[in-house]
Amino acid sequence: MLEDPDELAVLEEIQQELILQEQSVIEEYERSLQFDEECLNAMLDGLDASDKVICPVCRKNNLTIRNHLVSCQCGLYINTQGMTERKLRSLLENTVTEHSHRCFHNPEFTVTSGMEEEASLLMSCPV
């Protein structure tokens, strides 16, 4: 046992510093948990809003899809028959997935005019 008052004071001071460090680490951990929870909630909110389809041409804006029209702020404008967000998302996902089974490059999307002079969405690979 230590009986020197100076040694006891030093040990108590060290103990207080350790307690403060531990509290600081716990607070930082709790802030990190809160941030992670907020990120997870934001991601889940994004999944709830999954009706949106990102434009494959500009990859920035959400597409506007009506019964006879698919359009984007970037200038994409395609006439369609009965297209829905679900159908378009499925078509895009299936074609990109099929491509990725054969090629590791990302395909590119452009708008072209077909034989009937109507715009079409074309997927091509740069390779």
pLDDT digits (tens, 9 = 90+) for 44-103: 666 555 567 888 888 888 888 877 788 888 888 888 887 778 888 888 888 888 888 888
Q: Model confidence over 30-39: pLDDT tens digits? A: 988 888 888 7
Residues near 68 by Cβ (< 8 Å), separated by ≥ 6?
79, 80, 81, 82, 83
Look at residues 105, 111, 110 and name the one whose alpha carbon lies nearest to residue 125. Answer: 105
In angstroms, the CA 115 to CA 127 distance is: 26
What is the sign, positive or negative, of the torsion defined by CA atoms of 28, 31, 35, 41?
positive
Q: CB of 75 within 8 A of CB of 93?
A: no
Domain ranges across the chain: 1-49, 53-124
pTM of the model: 0.54
In angstroms, the CA 54 to CA 51 distance is: 10
